[in-house]
Amino acid sequence: MERLRSETKPGAGRLRDYEDITRRIDALAGPGVTVADFGSVDGLPMRYVTVAATTSDRPSVLLTGGVHGDEPAGIEAALRFLEDRIAGYAQSFAFVVVPCVNPTGYVRETRDNGAGADINRAFDGDETPESIGLKALLHERKFACAVDFHEDWETQGFYMYEGGRDTGGVGARIIERVAQIGPIDADSDPDDPPITPGVYPVSSSWGTVGLAPYLLAYHAPHVIISETPSAAWDIERRVAAHLAALEVTLATHAHSRQTGNRPR
Protein backbone atom coordinates (compact mmCIF):
# COMPACT_ATOMS: atom_id res chain seq x y z
CA MET A 1 0.00 0.00 0.00
CA GLU A 2 2.96 2.31 -0.64
CA ARG A 3 1.04 4.87 -2.66
CA LEU A 4 -1.80 5.12 -0.13
CA ARG A 5 -0.06 7.94 1.73
CA SER A 6 0.47 7.80 5.48
CA GLU A 7 1.20 11.49 5.91
CA THR A 8 -1.22 14.33 6.54
CA LYS A 9 -0.83 17.20 4.12
CA PRO A 10 0.70 20.48 5.35
CA GLY A 11 -1.68 23.09 6.74
CA ALA A 12 -4.20 20.59 8.08
CA GLY A 13 -6.01 20.97 11.37
CA ARG A 14 -8.53 23.72 10.56
CA LEU A 15 -12.03 23.15 11.88
CA ARG A 16 -14.74 22.54 9.28
CA ASP A 17 -18.53 22.41 9.49
CA TYR A 18 -19.73 18.82 9.54
CA GLU A 19 -23.31 19.98 10.09
CA ASP A 20 -23.43 21.05 6.45
CA ILE A 21 -22.64 17.45 5.47
CA THR A 22 -25.35 16.01 7.72
CA ARG A 23 -27.91 18.57 6.48
CA ARG A 24 -27.28 17.56 2.89
CA ILE A 25 -27.50 13.87 3.75
CA ASP A 26 -30.71 14.31 5.75
CA ALA A 27 -32.31 16.25 2.88
CA LEU A 28 -32.00 13.16 0.68
CA ALA A 29 -34.53 11.11 2.65
CA GLY A 30 -37.70 10.32 0.71
CA PRO A 31 -39.40 7.56 -1.28
CA GLY A 32 -36.91 4.78 -1.84
CA VAL A 33 -34.17 6.65 0.03
CA THR A 34 -33.38 5.90 3.68
CA VAL A 35 -30.97 7.90 5.84
CA ALA A 36 -29.64 6.32 9.05
CA ASP A 37 -26.58 6.23 11.31
CA PHE A 38 -24.13 3.36 11.69
CA GLY A 39 -22.70 4.89 14.87
CA SER A 40 -21.27 8.11 16.21
CA VAL A 41 -17.86 9.39 17.23
CA ASP A 42 -17.19 12.35 19.52
CA GLY A 43 -20.88 13.22 19.26
CA LEU A 44 -20.81 13.32 15.45
CA PRO A 45 -23.18 10.94 13.64
CA MET A 46 -21.77 8.56 11.06
CA ARG A 47 -24.50 8.63 8.42
CA TYR A 48 -25.23 6.42 5.47
CA VAL A 49 -27.82 6.42 2.72
CA THR A 50 -29.63 3.41 1.27
CA VAL A 51 -31.22 3.83 -2.16
CA ALA A 52 -33.57 1.10 -3.30
CA ALA A 53 -33.59 0.04 -6.94
CA THR A 54 -36.80 0.76 -8.83
CA THR A 55 -36.91 -2.91 -9.85
CA SER A 56 -36.46 -5.78 -7.41
CA ASP A 57 -33.42 -8.06 -7.28
CA ARG A 58 -31.02 -5.52 -8.78
CA PRO A 59 -27.36 -5.73 -7.66
CA SER A 60 -26.13 -3.41 -4.92
CA VAL A 61 -23.23 -0.97 -5.13
CA LEU A 62 -21.29 0.45 -2.18
CA LEU A 63 -19.90 3.98 -2.42
CA THR A 64 -17.66 5.48 0.27
CA GLY A 65 -15.86 8.77 0.73
CA GLY A 66 -14.00 10.64 3.42
CA VAL A 67 -12.13 7.71 4.95
CA HIS A 68 -9.36 10.27 5.30
CA GLY A 69 -10.63 13.55 6.69
CA ASP A 70 -8.33 15.76 4.62
CA GLU A 71 -9.78 14.43 1.34
CA PRO A 72 -12.99 16.44 0.86
CA ALA A 73 -13.51 15.91 -2.88
CA GLY A 74 -14.63 12.31 -2.33
CA ILE A 75 -17.25 13.45 0.18
CA GLU A 76 -18.48 16.12 -2.22
CA ALA A 77 -18.57 13.67 -5.13
CA ALA A 78 -20.61 11.15 -3.13
CA LEU A 79 -23.09 13.85 -2.09
CA ARG A 80 -23.46 15.21 -5.63
CA PHE A 81 -24.02 11.73 -6.98
CA LEU A 82 -26.83 11.27 -4.47
CA GLU A 83 -28.28 14.74 -5.04
CA ASP A 84 -28.08 15.00 -8.82
CA ARG A 85 -27.26 11.76 -10.61
CA ILE A 86 -28.47 8.67 -8.83
CA ALA A 87 -31.93 8.67 -10.44
CA GLY A 88 -30.34 7.65 -13.72
CA TYR A 89 -29.02 4.44 -12.15
CA ALA A 90 -31.93 3.41 -9.92
CA GLN A 91 -33.31 1.00 -12.54
CA SER A 92 -30.02 -0.90 -12.63
CA PHE A 93 -28.71 -0.81 -9.05
CA ALA A 94 -29.47 -0.39 -5.39
CA PHE A 95 -26.95 1.66 -3.43
CA VAL A 96 -25.45 1.97 0.01
CA VAL A 97 -23.53 5.25 0.26
CA VAL A 98 -21.37 6.44 3.15
CA PRO A 99 -20.37 9.97 2.10
CA CYS A 100 -18.09 10.66 5.10
CA VAL A 101 -16.63 7.67 6.92
CA ASN A 102 -14.41 9.89 9.11
CA PRO A 103 -16.37 12.83 10.59
CA THR A 104 -13.77 13.79 13.22
CA GLY A 105 -11.01 13.83 10.63
CA TYR A 106 -13.17 15.92 8.31
CA VAL A 107 -13.89 18.46 11.04
CA ARG A 108 -10.17 18.75 11.87
CA GLU A 109 -9.04 18.45 8.22
CA THR A 110 -6.69 15.62 9.14
CA ARG A 111 -6.07 12.30 7.47
CA ASP A 112 -6.55 10.39 10.72
CA ASN A 113 -9.59 10.39 12.98
CA GLY A 114 -9.86 12.50 16.14
CA ALA A 115 -7.91 9.88 18.11
CA GLY A 116 -5.03 9.94 15.63
CA ALA A 117 -5.81 6.59 13.98
CA ASP A 118 -5.75 5.97 10.23
CA ILE A 119 -9.09 4.28 9.56
CA ASN A 120 -7.72 2.86 6.31
CA ARG A 121 -5.30 0.76 8.36
CA ALA A 122 -7.90 -0.49 10.85
CA PHE A 123 -10.18 -2.98 9.09
CA ASP A 124 -8.40 -6.14 10.21
CA GLY A 125 -9.17 -5.47 13.88
CA ASP A 126 -11.38 -3.49 16.25
CA GLU A 127 -9.24 -0.39 16.48
CA THR A 128 -11.52 2.50 15.55
CA PRO A 129 -15.22 3.24 16.07
CA GLU A 130 -15.47 4.09 12.39
CA SER A 131 -14.18 0.74 11.13
CA ILE A 132 -16.15 -1.15 13.79
CA GLY A 133 -19.37 0.64 12.84
CA LEU A 134 -18.83 0.25 9.11
CA LYS A 135 -18.08 -3.46 9.43
CA ALA A 136 -21.27 -3.91 11.46
CA LEU A 137 -23.25 -2.02 8.81
CA LEU A 138 -21.85 -4.19 6.04
CA HIS A 139 -22.28 -7.48 7.92
CA GLU A 140 -23.50 -10.16 5.49
CA ARG A 141 -24.23 -7.59 2.76
CA LYS A 142 -22.97 -8.40 -0.71
CA PHE A 143 -22.27 -5.87 -3.46
CA ALA A 144 -21.61 -6.16 -7.17
CA CYS A 145 -18.87 -3.58 -6.74
CA ALA A 146 -17.52 -1.05 -4.28
CA VAL A 147 -16.00 2.34 -5.10
CA ASP A 148 -13.94 4.26 -2.54
CA PHE A 149 -13.05 7.91 -3.23
CA HIS A 150 -9.62 9.13 -2.08
CA GLU A 151 -7.16 11.95 -2.75
CA ASP A 152 -3.38 12.29 -2.85
CA TRP A 153 -1.85 15.69 -2.10
CA GLU A 154 1.60 14.64 -3.38
CA THR A 155 0.69 13.67 -6.94
CA GLN A 156 0.06 15.81 -10.02
CA GLY A 157 -2.49 13.60 -11.75
CA PHE A 158 -5.22 11.02 -11.29
CA TYR A 159 -4.54 7.36 -10.60
CA MET A 160 -6.54 4.46 -9.24
CA TYR A 161 -6.55 0.94 -7.88
CA GLU A 162 -8.64 -1.96 -9.13
CA GLY A 163 -9.13 -5.34 -7.56
CA GLY A 164 -11.38 -8.21 -8.47
CA ARG A 165 -11.82 -11.93 -8.22
CA ASP A 166 -14.30 -12.12 -11.08
CA THR A 167 -13.79 -8.94 -13.03
CA GLY A 168 -11.15 -6.74 -14.55
CA GLY A 169 -10.33 -4.15 -17.13
CA VAL A 170 -12.66 -1.38 -16.00
CA GLY A 171 -9.62 0.64 -14.95
CA ALA A 172 -8.41 1.28 -18.49
CA ARG A 173 -11.83 2.71 -19.41
CA ILE A 174 -11.80 4.93 -16.33
CA ILE A 175 -8.35 6.27 -17.20
CA GLU A 176 -9.47 7.02 -20.75
CA ARG A 177 -12.46 8.97 -19.44
CA VAL A 178 -10.62 10.84 -16.68
CA ALA A 179 -7.84 11.82 -19.09
CA GLN A 180 -10.41 14.14 -20.67
CA ILE A 181 -10.69 15.94 -17.30
CA GLY A 182 -7.02 16.17 -16.33
CA PRO A 183 -3.64 14.47 -16.57
CA ILE A 184 -3.03 10.91 -15.43
CA ASP A 185 -0.25 10.44 -12.89
CA ALA A 186 2.90 9.15 -14.58
CA ASP A 187 4.79 8.25 -11.39
CA SER A 188 5.52 4.55 -11.20
CA ASP A 189 7.04 2.63 -8.29
CA PRO A 190 9.11 -0.34 -9.52
CA ASP A 191 7.94 -2.28 -6.45
CA ASP A 192 4.31 -1.47 -7.26
CA PRO A 193 4.04 -1.48 -11.08
CA PRO A 194 0.76 -0.48 -12.71
CA ILE A 195 -1.49 -2.97 -14.44
CA THR A 196 -1.90 -0.38 -17.18
CA PRO A 197 -0.92 3.33 -17.07
CA GLY A 198 -2.56 4.92 -14.06
CA VAL A 199 -4.12 1.67 -12.77
CA TYR A 200 -2.58 -0.24 -9.86
CA PRO A 201 -3.68 -3.57 -8.40
CA VAL A 202 -5.32 -4.00 -5.04
CA SER A 203 -2.63 -6.37 -3.83
CA SER A 204 -3.19 -9.51 -1.79
CA SER A 205 -0.13 -8.44 0.23
CA TRP A 206 -2.27 -5.69 1.79
CA GLY A 207 -4.27 -8.29 3.71
CA THR A 208 -7.55 -6.82 4.92
CA VAL A 209 -6.13 -3.81 6.73
CA GLY A 210 -7.57 -1.25 4.30
CA LEU A 211 -11.21 -0.70 3.41
CA ALA A 212 -10.94 -1.75 -0.25
CA PRO A 213 -9.10 -5.05 0.36
CA TYR A 214 -11.44 -5.77 3.27
CA LEU A 215 -14.42 -5.27 0.97
CA LEU A 216 -12.80 -7.41 -1.72
CA ALA A 217 -12.26 -10.22 0.78
CA TYR A 218 -15.73 -10.22 2.30
CA HIS A 219 -18.30 -8.13 0.47
CA ALA A 220 -17.60 -7.38 -3.22
CA PRO A 221 -15.94 -9.19 -6.13
CA HIS A 222 -14.84 -5.88 -7.66
CA VAL A 223 -13.38 -2.81 -5.93
CA ILE A 224 -12.16 0.55 -7.22
CA ILE A 225 -10.12 3.17 -5.36
CA SER A 226 -10.22 6.52 -7.14
CA GLU A 227 -7.34 8.91 -6.30
CA THR A 228 -7.43 12.58 -7.31
CA PRO A 229 -4.57 15.10 -6.83
CA SER A 230 -5.77 17.44 -4.08
CA ALA A 231 -2.94 19.99 -4.39
CA ALA A 232 -2.70 20.07 -8.19
CA TRP A 233 -6.43 20.24 -9.12
CA ASP A 234 -9.22 22.41 -7.79
CA ILE A 235 -12.07 20.64 -6.07
CA GLU A 236 -14.43 20.88 -9.06
CA ARG A 237 -12.02 18.97 -11.26
CA ARG A 238 -11.41 16.39 -8.54
CA VAL A 239 -15.13 15.86 -8.02
CA ALA A 240 -15.61 15.50 -11.78
CA ALA A 241 -12.88 12.84 -11.93
CA HIS A 242 -14.39 10.84 -9.07
CA LEU A 243 -17.83 10.95 -10.66
CA ALA A 244 -16.39 9.92 -14.02
CA ALA A 245 -14.70 6.90 -12.40
CA LEU A 246 -17.94 5.91 -10.72
CA GLU A 247 -20.06 6.35 -13.82
CA VAL A 248 -17.72 4.27 -15.99
CA THR A 249 -17.77 1.54 -13.35
CA LEU A 250 -21.56 1.54 -13.17
CA ALA A 251 -21.98 1.63 -16.94
CA THR A 252 -19.64 -1.34 -17.32
CA HIS A 253 -21.45 -3.39 -14.69
CA ALA A 254 -24.86 -2.52 -16.14
CA HIS A 255 -23.69 -3.59 -19.59
CA SER A 256 -22.25 -6.84 -18.26
CA ARG A 257 -25.54 -7.64 -16.52
CA GLN A 258 -27.48 -7.04 -19.74
CA THR A 259 -25.16 -9.16 -21.84
CA GLY A 260 -24.32 -11.80 -19.24
CA ASN A 261 -20.60 -11.10 -19.64
CA ARG A 262 -18.12 -10.12 -16.99
CA PRO A 263 -16.88 -6.51 -17.16
CA ARG A 264 -13.78 -6.20 -19.29
Which domains does the chain show, CATH number per domain? Answer: 18-259 (3.40.630.10)
Strands (E), 84-205: 94-98, 145-152, 159-164, 199-201
- Can you give the pTM of this predicted structure? 0.92
Alpha-carbon distance 141 to 118, whole Å? 24
pLDDT band at 1 (very low <50, low <70, confident <90, very high): very low
pLDDT tens digits along 56-108:
889 999 999 999 999 999 999 999 999 999 999 988 999 999 999 999 999 99
In the predicted structure, residue 2 carries a pLDDT above the cut 60: no
Strand 60-64 and strand 33-41: the pairing is unpaired
Average confidence (pLDDT) over 2-17: 58
pLDDT tens digits along 111-138:
999 999 999 999 998 889 999 999 999 9
Predicted local distance difference test score (pLDDT) of residue 213: 96
